[in-house]
A and B are shown apart, each in its own frame.
Chain A
Amino acid sequence: MTARLRNAATPVDTSRHLLSVGDLDRDQIAELLDLTDTFVEVGQRSIPKVPALRGRTVVSLFFEDSTRTRLSFDTAAKRLSADTMSFGVSSSSVNKGESVRDTIETIEAMGIDAVIVRHSSSGVPAQIARWTDAVVVNAGDGWHQHPTQALLDAYTARSHLGDLEGRSIAIVGDVKHSRVARSNIEMFTALGAHVTLVAPPTLLPPDTTAWDVSVSHELDPVLPRIDVCYLLRMQSERMTEALIPTLREYTAGFGLTSERADRLGAEALIMHPGPMNRGVEIASEVAERPNAVITEQVANGVAVRMAVLFLLLGSGRHLTQVHEEAS
């Protein structure tokens, strides 16, 4: 089937891409996290580079601003010896009115193996997966998903706590508008952890019954019994929607202040996907504590993305499937 004939009704082969945490089962998640160990070790070498993806081309297609995710994917691809191309909307023909479809087909014509996509609308990476033969990795779409963030968070938590089965994890803040929250809820529950969403009602989705989570509108009672306090970024642009009275009021109720951090268990981890609003969702001093693993999350991000790119591009995983189908 040529790309032009594909339309929205064409099913996406989710095993070839990484679009959503929901496409992964527990074994696949475990395999990715185990594989990440290998790439953490590669990152610690004096020459942190392996020739695994020589000759492959990876394109970052970012329709939305990002520093850490784009740099992290870029570093991951380079450490695997892949060639990288970068595409920023501000400097591209999208500004001249080129459609996403024409953009992806133009880039594909240059010969690419993987596209890393970020877009402000949910579902764009899945749509691109219908239009291209390249592997598509979702680097964040709208409020929907950010699967590599969830993988690196699970990896970071697991490296400190071991198996997450039965562990208690609080996700605190603007769950409603957060793709990180959606991905992490699916990730942590898939790994057997108990997830509690902590937010004022205005920052929660109207219905959370589809998830196996508990909900609390107060942070204080939750603190002593959790193993991970996962803080979401308070998006100040939400202030215009009048969902919370003021940022100061949010901090008073839901910010991880020094006093609140003291009430966490001694082993409890403090995590944040960045960029942090110091003094809003997290006190500046708390972010520097030894159990705050925020910079570790960033470091593990590169290794997790190497594991994802290698698994999708280099491991020949689809070859296994081809052989299985043939036999």
Chain B
Amino acid sequence: MTPLLDVAELSKRFPVAASGGALKQVRRLLTRTADEQSQVHAVDDVSFTIAKGETVGLVGESGCGKSTLVRALARLLDPTAGSIRFSARDLSLVAARDFAHDRDRGRVQMVFQDAGESINPRFTAFDAIADPVRRLKHLSGAALVETVDKAARQCGLPLELLGRYPHQLSGGQRARVGIARAIAVEPELLVLDEPTAALDVSVQVVILKLLARLKAELGMSYLFVSHDLSVVRLLCNRVLVMYLGKIVEAGPARAVFDNPLHPYTKALVAAVPRLDGNGVAKLRLSGEPMSPIDPDPNVCRFYGRCPRGADLCRAKMPALRRAAAGREVACHFA
């Protein structure tokens, strides 16, 4: 069965301004060619699939490339290499700048972390939800109002609030507007970039349940980015763990958290605070991640911070390989 989304060898590199004083820069300019400019490897050779109706979680620390990855998937950014197949059509062939006019624009939508910032402060809630409906579904007049109202109702947003501006709404209400806007065009894939990070725990529960219900009702697939592992455990079927631009582990959410295979995932799971306070785990990561600028392609990205650091880790980059049923891990020793 063709998966809904098939990402293959996706990479995104950003050129980075060279550091150093004027003399160094000039010398560098004279001796180097354009190709040799330093690059930040934000996303490096990432491959995964999302099936129809699946919820896939994406976790990793800040700077690991999750935001860049999802923005490339949502076609806000152009990848440097790789393909993004959506129902067998490679979306990466259309430039991000032109994708706004593409017929498939409405099939992939996104919910942002800071709902308040993602709504134009001069737009009412109605305007915000109506914008994609106007542009992508080409509706207007009564049909438009009906679609917006339906989306609002599905998200539990009282219709009286549609005339309000973002600063007149609570955090939870703004989150609902963001979700209503994203589902109003009935996308097949919804990318959620930490949608509940800025919300109180009680509001978070409401929004998470709403997301689960919407998924069941509308049959969407979700790519749920979060740094909160407890939430990912509850909401996601599968989870991808990212570290410095690479996927280091993938598998069913429960299995990955109950029995992590990659050393980074182990440290991540050990660091999550538990309500029952069961022992402060001793597995701690020291230091900082290595630099994403021009990393050595033969060295495992986790080397140096990993409790285990064998010579093999420095000589050969571990590939993401199958470990057990449905599980993948990129480590020589997992």
Are both chains from one complex?
A: no
Chain B interfacial positions (CB closer than 8 Å to A): none
Chain A interfacial positions (CB closer than 8 Å to B): none
